[in-house]
Amino acid sequence: MAKKKRNKPSPRAPGLSLKLSQQQLDRNYVVAKKILRHFDLEPELLDVFTKKQKQRLFSITYDLPSVKAEIENTVPRQYMKTIQADMFKYMKSKFFGKPENQLTYMELAVHGLAFISSLSYYVREGVIFDDTPQEATAKMIFDKLDEFEIYDNGFYSVFTYIRFLTKSYSKINFRLYGFNYIWDVYTKSDGYPTKKLKILLTVHDCESKFFIQNNIGRKAFRLIVTADGIESEPSPVTIKRNQIFPNAAESEMLNLYMQSHVLQRFKERMDLFEPVMQNFLIQYVFTKNMDVITIGKQNLLACMIIEDIPVGYFSFFIQGNDIVINTFLPIASDNTPEGRKLHSLLSLGKEDLIFLGMDKISFYAKVDFEQIPMLKQALIDSNIWQTKQMLEKMLYRDAGESKLLIDPNKTMFVKTFFDKVELHRDVTEL
């Protein structure tokens, strides 16, 4: 008696699970249509596939992304949980590609890439589409989808956000966090292979050095660029020596160090921002947006957080191959280009600056300058007004919301001060 011929089962793509509910299959189908729109393909192309082909194509999902320490027991558990929660919130609310396609990063990571991998697998292996009317459609979609581009660059926005989160928890004088990432392929407990995006948090303990200036010794901490998903190894922050000494060779570099005093002054004077944002900004300034300016015989490092507009300046001294940053100057200080102009316009002293609170950036958000024309004009003429406008752009989505932080009592306090200044000026002129 001849043996009954059995059909050879089709190989299954990585991550394939035939246990998905109809709701999950429908979800994968919806996301697949969004993927086609992203690549300028008609979503209706999916409708040409048979029921069995669709089951194969849409029976794949990847696991949710995760956040772990690259080396166990090096990152506080609460940090990992919070960073993962914030990452999930971002990935579920931000869109990959054109916003009108409504394809979130979470959909792309869990459903979209699984669909692309499934289709690619079946086309490359010559499974389920061969010798069917749908073969040409499947190959046409396959040729258009750029799987590797998405894996390499598709999540750049997500990584930029995670970079912000890790730097927010980093402290220059204690411990710095960064991250690497992998697309982890593994087998689940049910025997099916799957894949997920895994964020691996890295840790770099601070490096310190002892410096003596004016017979006073203080410790300073080296500025480090941590791993950020692209650069796997931390590297020290440097600045070209010829930015300060024009005759120096192009290849000569100076290492940057910062005293704890700077961090305290930065915290006091950048009081409009929460501590986590302060942590991020002080690292951003020295790794992404650093510039040397000269005022008189003194060099300063401009603190520019966006648009090349300063919010303050760092003073420093040089010893050997090291720059040591020793304080943070508010933009209204008479030791800065803008502050020196402001003081000449208003005849302000250092004590007046502190008395009014102009050494803190919250001053520029709390005061209604429309009630103090004399001060507003001086801020415009000294180029500090552009800093106020830049801060508003950072803090508010539209100009109308800028009124939310205005403090009537603070405004009246400052107005009274400048009314007296203006009265004194008028009397003197008489």
Q: Which letter does DSSP use for residue 306 in this model?
A: S
Half-sphere exposure of 12 (CA within 13 A, CB side): 15
Q: Which residues does 272 contact at the CB level (< 8 Å), separation at least 6?
A: 360, 361, 362, 365, 391, 395
Half-sphere exposure of 104 (CA within 13 A, CB side): 13
Buried b / exposed e along 396-429 (16+ C-beta atoms within 10 A): eeeeeebeebeeeebbeebbeebeebeeeeeeee
What is the CB neighbour count within 10 angstroms for residue 98? 11
Length, in residues, of the chain:
430
In angstroms, the CA 233 to CA 249 distance is 27
Q: Are 326 and 261 in contact (CB under 8 A)?
A: yes
Tokens 């209604």 belong to: 368
DSSP codes of every residue in 327-360: EEEETTSTTSHHHHHHHHHHT--HHHHHHHTTTS
Q: What is the pLDDT of residue 401?
A: 52
Tens digit of each residue's pLDDT, the chain (430 residues): 444 333 334 445 554 445 667 888 889 999 999 999 999 999 999 999 998 898 888 888 899 999 999 999 999 999 999 999 999 999 999 999 999 999 999 999 999 999 999 999 888 888 788 888 899 999 999 999 888 888 888 999 999 999 999 999 999 999 999 999 999 998 877 667 789 999 999 999 999 999 999 899 999 999 999 998 876 678 899 999 999 999 999 999 999 999 999 999 999 999 999 999 999 999 988 887 678 999 988 999 999 988 789 999 999 999 999 999 999 999 999 999 999 999 999 988 889 999 999 999 999 999 999 999 999 999 999 999 999 999 888 876 544 455 568 899 999 999 999 988 775 565 454 4
| Domain coordinates in residue numbering, the chain | 22-202, 207-330, 337-429
In angstroms, the CA 306 to CA 322 distance is 26
Half-sphere exposure of 163 (CA within 13 A, CB side): 19
SS3 287: helix
Q: Could you tell me the CA-to-CA distances from 121 to 13, 14, 48, 107 in Å, in that order?
A: 6, 8, 19, 20
The two tokens of residue 179 are 């991250």
Contacts 24+ apart (CB under 8 A), 73-76: 74/201, 74/203, 75/177, 75/201, 75/203
Q: What is the pLDDT of residue 10?
A: 44
The two tokens of residue 113 are 């890439």
> Closest Cα partner for 64 from 106, 116, 17, 114?
106
Q: Could you tell me the CA-to-CA distances from 135 to 34, 127, 206 in Å, in that order?
A: 21, 10, 58
Compute the Cα dihedral for 157, 161, 162, 166 and give only its sign: positive
Q: Which residues does 293 contact at the CB level (< 8 Å), separation at least 6?
A: 299, 300, 301, 302, 313, 337
> Closest Cα partner for 143 from 30, 14, 39, 16?
39
